[in-house]
Amino acid sequence: MNLSFENRAALVTGAGSGIGLATAKAFAESGAAAVLADWNEKLVRAATDELVAQGHKALAVVCDVSDDAQVEAMVKKTVATFGKLDAAFNNAGVQNVLAETADTTREDYDRVMGINLRGVWSCMKFELQQMRKQGSGTIVNCSSLGGLVGGAERGIYHAAKHGVLWFTKSAAL
Beta-bridged to residue 34, according to DSSP, are: 10, 58
Q: Which of 82, 89, 126, 157 is catalytic?
A: 157
Beta-strand pair 33-38/9-13: parallel
Q: Which residues have C-beta within 8 Å of that of residue 86, sequence separation ≥ 6?
A: 5, 8, 9, 10, 32, 136, 137, 138
Separation between Cα atoms, residue 60 and residue 49, nearest integer Å = 8
Q: In what order do the strands lie in the sheet with 87-90?
A: 58-62, 33-38, 9-13, 87-90, 138-141
Mark whether 157 is an active-site residue: yes
Q: Which residues have C-beta within 8 Å of that of residue 46, sequence separation ≥ 6?
A: none
Separation between Cα atoms, residue 137 and residue 37, nearest integer Å = 18
Query: Where in the sequence numbering do the catalytic residues fall?
Result: 157
